[in-house]
Amino acid sequence: MREPEPIPGDPGQALCVYLAEPGSPTAGALRLLSSRAASRTPPRPRDRPGLEVSLL
């Protein structure tokens, strides 16, 4: 992992970048993880419990 980069304007948050040797088991695991994350559709706000949207 590279050094975490702070996100300007968002105290306490940081961007972490993970690198792996090409062809290594870790590279395969990161590729699998990224493919799963990319294939998920984020929930709409009304589908998330505890979040209510009101239109006036």
| 34 belongs to a structural domain | yes
pLDDT score for 44: 62
| 49 belongs to a structural domain | no
Question: Which structural domain range is residue 34 located in?
Answer: 13-40
pTM score, whole prediction: 0.43
Percent of the chain with pLDDT over 70: 62
Residues of the chain under the 70 pLDDT cut: 1, 38-56
| 47 belongs to a structural domain | no
Q: Which amino acid is at 53?
A: V
| 45 belongs to a structural domain | no
